[in-house]
Structure 1
Amino acid sequence: MTLSGVYVPLITPFDAAGAVAHAALEALAHQVLDAGAAGLVALGTTAEPASLDPAEQRAVLDTLTRVCRERQAPLLVGANTPAAVTALGGRPEVAAALSLVPPFVRPGEAGVVAHFAALAAASPVPLVVYHVPYRTGQQLRPDTLRRLAELPGVIGVKLAVGALDTDAVDLLAEPPANFAVLGGDDVVISPLLALGAHGGVLASAHLATAGFVELVDAWRAGDAGRARALGHRLSALSAALFAAPNPTVVKAVLHAEGRIPTATVRLPLLAPDDATVEAALARLAGVGAPVGARS
């Protein structure tokens, strides 16, 4: 199976007492799937996983596993170590672990390939490589991504290099067979889809979900005019949602829409200012797609 379409890396909503609001999380999961999302991501960066204790992480995963089982939707799970990927065994809803290139170590590209070979060998589920060099400090060239694609058990990459660069163009000009390239930089998802990306892992798709789904469908159908116009509006929305550290603005907008009980984020994140939230709400209104519903 090649992953494709829009995957939403769900936030972790908190209630007024600061606990995980599981009913709101479940409702969000159903809303984005109702709007056409292909699947969900649990415990990705957008979920603030470092601020969740192990019991909270397990409970979040339990909630989203249940939703994906009910909806027969694939689930990606942020998991970066042999212990974390092994713990995903016995959860048939998990389509893959979303696993970071080892951060801070900067082991070199050969070291990254060796790391993923070992991780894939230990994992009961396939792996999607999360390549985000402006966070990890490790660049990967297209030929290295192709070497990763040849590893048994590695089925895709979340490509979040901070821009649409020549390496992305090179990779998509000759994409590896049966290997999903999923965009992870929301602002440039439209041009990446135009080059042939299979879809995206998009925090922005908490909002105007149906619009992002339509964008993927339009590029697949070769309807460049429709895709460009929609892509411009969604890019502006994404830029507004990422005007402060993710997921602070996404949470504030979801709360303003009445979809989560609070806009609370945990330290080290801080709430965005009112002007930033108002700008994102204005951009959302300009997309023209209903929040959490098909267009």
Structure 2
Amino acid sequence: MLTARDPVLMDLDGVFVPLITPFDADGGVAVDALAGLAKQVLDDGAAGLVALGTTGEPGSLTEEERAAVVTALVEVCRGRDVPLVVGASTEAAVRALPAEVSAAMALVPPFTRPGAAGVLAHLRAVAAASPVPLIVYHVPQRTGQELPPAALRAIAEIPGVVGVKYATGRIDADAAAFLTDLPEHFTALCGDDALIAPMLALGARGAVAASAHLATADFARLVRDGAGDAALVARLVAVAGAVFAEPNPTVLKAVLHAQGRIPTPSVRLPLLPAAAESRDAVLAVLSAL
């Protein structure tokens, strides 16, 4: 498994699955189900895993539960020799990462909206403290912080930063300006499941896609072969649209439970369970693949 800080050793091509955190009937973390889910998506073509991303509901987990999630996925990734990325956005969080973790995913500071200069200063401090490379997570819909291409290019030049999960929700002139002018050592990963194809066309080399819990092999093929198969792209855009019909990961968990892959569809507050209609819409799209 990749653990070195040297950017040339960080292979971020392909689909990374940001795993849900399954809960058992008593409300605790279903560690065995998590490990089984991780193995299945890797068997089906995922290039690596992300732990404690937004899809994993990390804010609702206790410190002990977060540690249990990371420990379980470290074991899976060690056995498969694939990278494990863990959500960690502060100096303290990255210092606490186990040695086997390949990279940290650091969120652009949310809520405070510190401006580009503040974002850069924060990420420099986190990168300097981190024993592993950073992938910056840029998702302005959640953080409230927009960043122009010049700021993103400055982030790409921070020592120890090797990539970005780019999830602005749109493909516009700023996206094109940034994605078509990436430093050689730096990888852009699509963070919007429905926009993987156009982002690949512009210069992204992979994706962090929650929808790839489902139809994993198809998402892996899309990234591997590019966006040339229009029918495949259309099918996967339909999957993504149905999965995100309600707040993530509520629909995804309902579908995984219906497939028998996790013991319950439970989420924790402030999330509420997905409607049966949303679950059934995803299952109908999957049946048409």
TM-score normalised by structure 1 residue count: 0.93
Deviation of 1:217 (Å): 1.3
Residue equivalent to 2:265: 263
Deviation string, structure 1 residues 255-283 (Cα, Å, up to 9, x no partner): 00000011000111011111111111111
1:279 aligns with 2:281: yes
How many positions carry a matched residue from both structures? 280
SS at match of 2:177: helix
SS at match of 2:238: helix
Residue equivalent to 1:56: 65
Deviation of 1:286 (Å): 1.8
Deviation of 1:229 (Å): 1.6
Matches of 1:45 and 1:135, distance apart in 2: 10
Matches of 1:119 and 1:139, distance apart in 2: 20
Deviation of 1:212 (Å): 0.1
Question: Where in structure 2 are there 5+ consecutive unaligned residues?
Answer: 1-9
Deviation of 1:2 (Å): 4.0
Matches of 1:2 and 1:261, distance apart in 2: 33
1:193 aligns with 2:200: yes
Residue equivalent to 1:95: 102
Report if the CA contact (8 A) 1:2-1:155 is conserved: no
Match of residue 244, structure 2, among 229, 242, 248: 242
Match of residue 256, structure 2, among 254, 257, 265: 254
Residue equivalent to 1:33: 42
Report if the CA contact (8 A) 1:5-1:199 is conserved: yes
Q: Which amino acid aligns with 1:218?
A: D
Match of residue 78, structure 1, among 77, 83, 87: 87
Report if the CA contact (8 A) 1:253-1:280 is conserved: yes
Deviation string, structure 1 residues 10-42 (Cα, Å, up to 9, x no partner): 000011111111110000000000011000000
Deviation string, structure 1 residues 191-218 (Cα, Å, up to 9, x no partner): 1112221100000000000000000111
Deviation of 1:230 (Å): 0.7
Question: Where in structure 1 are there 5+ consecutive unaligned residues?
Answer: 288-295
Matches of 1:145 and 1:260, distance apart in 2: 38
Report if the CA contact (8 A) 1:149-1:155 is conserved: yes
Matches of 2:35 and 2:118, distance apart in 1: 38
Q: Which amino acid aligns with 2:66?
A: Q
**CA RMSD, aligned part only?**
1.0
TM-score normalised by structure 2 residue count: 0.95
1:229 aligns with 2:224: no
